[in-house]
Structure 1
Amino acid sequence: MDEEDIEFTIAHNRRYSNAHLWFQDVKDERVMIGISEYLLADAGAVLRVNLPDQGQEIGEGDVLFSLRTEYEALRFTSPFSLRVTEVNGELESTPETINDSPYDNGWVLIIEPHADADDALLEADEYIEFLQEA
């Protein structure tokens, strides 16, 4: 990230990965995933999103999804193995929704983890500490 000051919000009812993805428990042991506002503040406007297929199995360390912003191409890998149960198909035609509403309408995927994902994720306060150390 640049040395200049950027403004962003951290949603405290979510967990985070060190790759700046947020994870929120939904129902039936499923987890919604999106991109933190911190990353978006630096990456710029999202121009394109490449989503996995619904039902796709993704292993730990494999590409989860990717996107193109006005400044860079980003690939996000999965911190644990999972199955994709739903994709936000609206993002393919309106990728700017990720920037406009990163913690609500800009969600990317809903997944079903194959194992306990808690060890791979940071609580909001731990994520803030991680950002301060970066």
Structure 2
Amino acid sequence: MKKYTNAHEYVDVEGNVATIGISVKAAEELGDVTYVELPEVGKEVKKGDILCTIESVKSAEDIYAPVSGKVIEVNNELEDNPEIVNEDAENRGWIVKMELSDKSELDGLLDEDPPIEN
């Protein structure tokens, strides 16, 4: 089950594990991604907390946790190849995997990525 936030993060849930990243639209809007600051494995986050930061040639953007939980894995491939976010944002470009602490938070998310407002 894939859900989206108004800020264009996505959450792909399997069981009690959520894979989180940014949507294809968000990656296109950012431009060429040059750096992804990954959180530490074991970090506990609440919905709305800053999860990580993505830097591009255009700007640096904070990525917010769309759900609460504990980071159980990070995509270390992004450290050396941050451009994967641009190439395949919603698959190989995932940022973190989290163990969900409150599945009911998924109810407030969107079923599809909303349009980007300029």
Could you say which residue in structure 2 is the equivalent of 1:81?
68
Distance 2:7 2:64 in 1: 8
Paired residue secondary structure (1:95): coil
Distance 1:78 1:21 in 2: 8
Q: CA deviation at 1:21?
A: 0.7
Q: TM-score, normalised by structure 1?
A: 0.79
Q: Given residue 75 of structure 1, which amino acid in structure 2 is its aligned partner?
A: D
Q: Which has the higher contact order (CA 8 A, sep 6+)?
A: 2
Matched, 1:131 2:115: yes
Q: For the structure 1 residues 61 and 103, does the alpha-carbon distance in structure 2 shift closer, same or farther, using more than 3 Å as the test?
A: closer
Q: CA deviation at 1:41?
A: 1.3
Match of 2:7 among 19, 32, 36: 19
Q: CA deviation at 1:131?
A: 1.5
Q: TM-score, normalised by structure 2?
A: 0.89
Paired residue secondary structure (1:40): helix
Aligned length: 116
Q: CA deviation at 1:79?
A: 3.0
Unpaired stretches in structure 1, ≥5 consecutive residues: 1-12
1:105-124 Cα offsets, whole Å, 9 max, x none, are 11111111211222231112
CA contact (8 A) 1:45 1:96 kept: yes
1:24-49 Cα offsets, whole Å, 9 max, x none, are 113x4101111101111111010000
Could you say which residue in structure 2 is the equivalent of 1:70?
57
Q: Given residue 52 of structure 1, which amino acid in structure 2 is its aligned partner?
A: P
Unpaired stretches in structure 2, ≥5 consecutive residues: none
Match of 2:106 among 118, 123, 129: 118
Q: For the structure 1 residues 24 and 80, does the alpha-carbon distance in structure 2 shift closer, same or farther, using more than 3 Å as the test?
A: closer
Match of 2:85 among 51, 73, 98: 98
